Amino acid sequence: MPSSPHVPDPATESPDPAVEHARRLTDTVTRLRRALRSSIRTDYPWESLPMAQVELLQTLAAAPLRVGELAARQRLAPNTVSGLIGKLLEAGFVDRQADPGDRRTARIALTPVGRRQLDDWQHAHERRIAAALGTLDPGDRDAVVHALPALERLARALAQPGALPEGAAAVDGAAVGGASVEEA
């Protein structure tokens, strides 16, 4: 479904350019994610994993982890992660393994089927984004590519617990953002 960009309300808008830049970036990232998910599902109907499950698979691709460790890394409640893991177990994408350091606990590991699913997901997204980049004029394409290092640093800054100053969610009393969490 098409979305419209943020429409400023002069009565409530902050004149702070940093707030406006943050608002535009939030709107753009939200629309990019929605457009990519929608186009992938159109081009690749099998692609139906919710983003929260994909993010767990991506995390598990590095190494098996306990549910609590997964929850901490994803900043989700352990019971939410347990529910997501249950769905991934049913699909055969992950399995439970005894933790060699503590036989009373289990680690969640990616299965070969889960690895293939994650690889397929990644390749489908790479092809879709490459095709979309190909539609841009060279100047816009270069601008996107040149912005990547700064966007990667921004993602790392946002991912670090406590890395942002207290009250960073608001600037001059105006809320920054407005994107909702991707469906679980």
Confidence of residue 13 (pLDDT cuts 50, 70, 90): low
pLDDT of 26 > 60? The answer is yes
Averaged pLDDT, 14-27: 88
Q: Can you tell me the distance from the alpha carbon of 82 to that of 24, in angstroms, rounded to the nearest whole number? A: 34
Residue type, 16: D
Q: What is the DSSP letter of 65?
A: B
Q: Can you tell me the distance from the alpha carbon of 105 to that of 121, in angstroms, rounded to the nearest whole number? A: 30
Q: Can you tell me the distance from the alpha carbon of 109 to that of 95, in angstroms, rounded to the nearest whole number? A: 5
The rounded Cα 152 to chain-centroid distance in angstroms is 12
- Report yes or no on whether pTM surpasses 0.85: no
Confidence of residue 172 (pLDDT cuts 50, 70, 90): very low
pLDDT of residue 40: 75
pLDDT of 168 > 60? The answer is no
Q: Which of 177, 143, 180 is nearest to 24 (CA)?
A: 177
Q: Which residues pair with 171 in a beta bridge?
A: 174
Q: C-alpha dihedral over 74, 76, 80, 83, to 10 degrees?
A: 10
The rounded Cα 86 to chain-centroid distance in angstroms is 20
pLDDT in tens, 72-125: 988 899 999 999 999 999 999 999 998 888 888 899 999 999 999 899 888 888
Residue type, 62: A
Confidence of residue 44 (pLDDT cuts 50, 70, 90): low
pLDDT in tens, 117-167: 899 888 888 988 999 999 999 999 999 999 999 999 998 998 886 666 655
pLDDT of residue 125: 86
